[in-house]
Chain A
């Protein structure tokens, strides 16, 4: 007779960087039911956005998430620009592309490191975070801050990357790729321990992913070829983009998607810098936003959605943010039941949960 137990997992747990609480219902060692509970870090950002002026909000949304901060600001700015009928100059669009891919690389490397750490693969964790250090140096060099790039403003971007800096960035990106090739990629792609911990764990079929509304690498790991970058916002149309898709639908497939996307992002960054046209980086924006719009971008974790409503004053009437993890949390409902208790950490981590974003 199987023994039924309820095990609380989180909100403080060694493998979880963020506070999500899972109530796991177990039969012996096997998970049969799960209840994700969130609400530990709600900050009321949507309400705060109504109190700030619309220009101040850029800084607010940059701080929704510490890891994918740039794309939040970018999405917001793109939305406000659409409301006010202005368009960011071409150079600014390329720079936004560069920084959004930089923050994707940053996020993916961070997550891959956490995954290695969660598997107890400490040396790989150190190696991946050593590579991530290059990305942070690049961030500091180009924006002045190692984590929060905060370079998007309504009408363009705040900073420029000149020729010398672009050359240096390119050099370091090549070094980053080499470092990944020599230390990280062999382990991620071939190591038996990683495969053993991730292959076949946390299965999410394509139908289930679509039904549960999964986005980003979680959906792409299950064979859903959906990526908002395909719509060609910022400079993705010019640079060219093909989504990375794996079909296995397990934790390993999601890992592979992120690992391959890291390489893809490095290429996109190098291309964006090489193709970047000369010109203005910021246009003057007069007046106040009025009307409604939605704006979407691809975060490292998936599609981020902004609904904006302006009423012709300096303050927006309503801003609604739907972050990728919010859409991905329901996938736990099919990924976790049926697995063993020991696999819960890896599966939980495999959607790259960012609860800070989710609760806003």
Chain B
């Protein structure tokens, strides 16, 4: 064999010492019975290159003994023991004591190293929780709820801010999938997670850290909705120069256009927008971007398209072109921009989503006496959030379930909406029960105005020259959000079709990371862990069996006052109530 050294018995230990000095690894030893004597070959692996092995050969007479190398190479003890037993060669001084029943190092110089790691009890581990996993923005929900329960409101707000820049907006308009996944939902008493978020925003301040380093890169963001502003916020924090282009005269996108003031007061929205502006983000209103190439020519290295889905979808029924049939999104935009809309007394709203309910409640505030929402399925299938439907009914909105518009009739200046009656069938692909027509069940209702709210889709200028997918959305890479054009990214409703504010904010973060990486950054958001001394066991602070298992009720404005104007309906929680609600959490994230 290559690399072999023959030594006699006395030279074995010095040879092994030499191998140890070279930091070679002991592989094993082979023993051969050569009839008149034994031969033991020790195989070592050199440290630098694993091949070829070095072999040290020792020949000994039968009945002779060998010194053990296990004081140098502890791992040799086991094979020496085997050779000793199988070939009956006496090997003297094996470092591991096989006689004393418990295998322990006896006289090895390395005995110190062999000391087992002292027993350390594990620090409690946090478990993934259902509410946190349900949050599209990935907010550490159990932690901020717990901090509110302890009265640490500012820390709680900081925890929310770690994941998402706009707690004030989401605390009011989020549809709160977390509450549906709360473990107390089964008892119909989920923690009021959204209200607590709003409470944290209203009762604490968070000092935004300004970006310290400048990357010198410029990014154009088209659209100032939740996705655009969210991405602008993160990109600005990463040190890029951001310009946001807004086609309308006011900033906020669908948050300003689509969400009525009684749900999201304009002061909150303006405050959040100012927070983003204070980071050095430039926002240009009344600027419609016509061409992406011009942006690149103007010196922007990357573009994010977050123009949302602002085009209403038609009902596709006869007589829809009547001037008194208006689209929900246009109607809300006009109202929210302070333009006068002539509605008359009787209004019909077609659709069952949040937009339809918003439109109906807005018309009530504008003075319409009879407002009816027509929806083709029943209340259980309604996509609008239940609390909003409830509030709408309180405000005198009538909801006509199981009704599908057949046509719009106009005779002698009077407008009427003819509907089919529906019945519910088997669940369809979306999991909701299918609505089937009942033939001959048509009924008509006389109205002054019809508002259609059957969906929206993005409106993408053709000059962008991007790949367009189903329902007029932009096709993007799902991981990087990159579009078919180099340096152009897209996020929000323009990619997904109409979704929610929280989803848009969540994807803004992904977009910001992707753009930073595209610009040569590491894609690391400058976010600091909020360090608070928190209890780590459920039992240290929670009296689980205390009777406080009723969900808090959000105080609301009285119905009369609501209809007088656009004042915010939800009034917010008081400190005592919010803290009690925070304490009601079961702390599923803590282990014991």
Known A210-B25, A228-B50: A36·B103 in contact at CB below 8 Å: yes
Q: Which of B71-79, B294-302, B483-491, B537-545 contacts A (4 or more CB under 8 A)?
A: B71-79
| B30 cross-chain contacts in A, Cβ below 8 A | 307, 318, 320
Most buried by A among B30, B78, B103, B122: B30
A338 lies within 8 A of chain B by Cβ? yes
Taken together as a complex, chains A and B put the C-alpha atoms of A195 and B124 apart, in Å, by 11
Known A192-B125, A334-B116, A338-B116: A230·B1 in contact at CB below 8 Å: no
Known pairs A208-B114, A213-B75, A338-B118. 20 more at Cβ < 8 A? A33-B102, A195-B125, A203-B116, A212-B114, A213-B76, A230-B50, A231-B51, A294-B1, A305-B43, A309-B32, A318-B30, A318-B32, A320-B28, A322-B28, A322-B79, A330-B77, A334-B115, A334-B116, A334-B117, A340-B119
B120 lies within 8 A of chain A by Cβ? yes
Let me know if A34 and B50 touch, CB within 8 A. no
Let me know if A334 and B114 touch, CB within 8 A. yes
A87 lies within 8 A of chain B by Cβ? no
Let me know if B53 and A211 touch, CB within 8 A. no
List the interface of chain B (C-beta within 8 A of A).
1, 25-28, 30-33, 41, 43, 50-51, 53, 55, 73-79, 96, 101-105, 110, 113-120, 122, 125, 127-128, 591
Taken together as a complex, chains A and B put the C-alpha atoms of A34 and B27 apart, in Å, by 24
- Listed by A's residue number, 10 A-B pairs whose Cβ atoms lie within 8 Å are A25-B102, A203-B117, A305-B43, A318-B30, A326-B28, A333-B116, A334-B114, A335-B116, A337-B116, A338-B119
Let me know if B25 and A213 touch, CB within 8 A. yes
Mark contacts of A324-336 with chain B using CB atoms, 8 A cut-off: 1 yes-contact digit, 0 otherwise: 0011011001111
Closest to B76 in A: A213
| A141 cross-chain contacts in B, Cβ below 8 A | none
Let me know if A211 and B32 touch, CB within 8 A. no
A residues 137-186 touching B (CB-CB < 8 Å): none
Let me know if B75 and A333 touch, CB within 8 A. no
List the 9 shortest-distance A-B pairs measured between CB atoms, nearest first: A213-B75, A322-B28, A320-B30, A337-B116, A203-B117, A33-B102, A338-B116, A307-B30, A192-B127
Smallest beta-carbon distance A47→chain B, Å: 10
Taken together as a complex, chains A and B put the C-alpha atoms of A210 and B25 apart, in Å, by 8
Let me know if B78 and A326 touch, CB within 8 A. yes
Taken together as a complex, chains A and B put the C-alpha atoms of A248 and B118 apart, in Å, by 16
Most buried by A among B50, B101, B103: B103
What secondary structure prevails in chain A residues at the interface with B?
mixed
Mark contacts of A196-229 with chain B using CB atoms, 8 A cut-off: 1 yes-contact digit, 0 otherwise: 1001100101011011110000000000001010
Taken together as a complex, chains A and B put the C-alpha atoms of A267 and B102 apart, in Å, by 44
List the interface of chain A (C-beta within 8 A of B).
23, 25, 30, 33-36, 190, 192, 195-196, 199-200, 203, 205, 207-208, 210-213, 226, 228, 230-231, 291-294, 296, 303, 305, 307, 309, 317-318, 320, 322, 326-327, 329-330, 333-340
| A317 cross-chain contacts in B, Cβ below 8 A | 32
Let me know if A307 and B102 touch, CB within 8 A. no
Taken together as a complex, chains A and B put the C-alpha atoms of A74 and B407 apart, in Å, by 78
Let me know if B119 and A213 touch, CB within 8 A. no
Number of A-B contacts (CB under 8 A): 109
Let me know if A307 and B41 touch, CB within 8 A. yes
Pick the contact of A211 from B28, B79, B113, B120 — CB < 8 Å?
A: B113
Let me know if A23 and B77 touch, CB within 8 A. no
Taken together as a complex, chains A and B put the C-alpha atoms of A260 and B76 apart, in Å, by 31
| A213 cross-chain contacts in B, Cβ below 8 A | 25-27, 73-76
| B118 cross-chain contacts in A, Cβ below 8 A | 338
Taken together as a complex, chains A and B put the C-alpha atoms of A228 and B41 apart, in Å, by 21
| A320 cross-chain contacts in B, Cβ below 8 A | 28, 30-31
Closest to A332 in B: B103
Let me know if B102 and A34 touch, CB within 8 A. yes
Pick the contact of B50 from A23, A33, A231 — CB < 8 Å?
A: A231
Let me know if B50 and A330 touch, CB within 8 A. no
Pick the contact of B27 from A33, A211, A230, A322 — CB < 8 Å?
A: A322
Known A305-B27, A327-B28: A212·B74 in contact at CB below 8 Å: yes
Smallest beta-carbon distance A90→chain B, Å: 20
Taken together as a complex, chains A and B put the C-alpha atoms of A294 and B44 apart, in Å, by 11
Smallest beta-carbon distance B403→chain A, Å: 42
Known A36-B103, A208-B114, A228-B50: A330·B125 in contact at CB below 8 Å: no
Smallest beta-carbon distance B391→chain A, Å: 39
Let me know if B1 and A208 touch, CB within 8 A. no
Closest to A228 in B: B50
Most buried by A among B41, B43, B78, B118: B78
Smallest beta-carbon distance A315→chain B, Å: 15
Let me know if B51 and A307 touch, CB within 8 A. no
| A36 cross-chain contacts in B, Cβ below 8 A | 103
Closest to A33 in B: B102
Smallest beta-carbon distance B24→chain A, Å: 11
| B127 cross-chain contacts in A, Cβ below 8 A | 192
Smallest beta-carbon distance B380→chain A, Å: 31
Taken together as a complex, chains A and B put the C-alpha atoms of A200 and B117 apart, in Å, by 10
Pick the contact of B117 from A228, A231, A338 — CB < 8 Å?
A: A338
Smallest beta-carbon distance B319→chain A, Å: 50
Let me know if A23 and B102 touch, CB within 8 A. yes
Closest to A195 in B: B125
Let me know if B75 and A307 touch, CB within 8 A. no
Let me know if A23 and B117 touch, CB within 8 A. no
Taken together as a complex, chains A and B put the C-alpha atoms of A35 and B102 apart, in Å, by 5
Closest to A294 in B: B53
Taken together as a complex, chains A and B put the C-alpha atoms of A317 and B33 apart, in Å, by 10
| B115 cross-chain contacts in A, Cβ below 8 A | 334
Closest to B78 in A: A330
Smallest beta-carbon distance A209→chain B, Å: 10
Closest to B73 in A: A213
| B119 cross-chain contacts in A, Cβ below 8 A | 30, 338-340
| A330 cross-chain contacts in B, Cβ below 8 A | 74-75, 77-78, 96
Closest to B33 in A: A318
Taken together as a complex, chains A and B put the C-alpha atoms of A274 and B103 apart, in Å, by 49
Taken together as a complex, chains A and B put the C-alpha atoms of A25 and B100 apart, in Å, by 12
Closest to B77 in A: A330
Taken together as a complex, chains A and B put the C-alpha atoms of A296 and B27 apart, in Å, by 10
Taken together as a complex, chains A and B put the C-alpha atoms of A256 and B437 apart, in Å, by 56
Taken together as a complex, chains A and B put the C-alpha atoms of A195 and B26 apart, in Å, by 33
Most buried by B among A25, A309, A320: A320
| A326 cross-chain contacts in B, Cβ below 8 A | 28, 78-79
Let me know if A333 and B114 touch, CB within 8 A. yes
Let me know if A333 and B50 touch, CB within 8 A. no
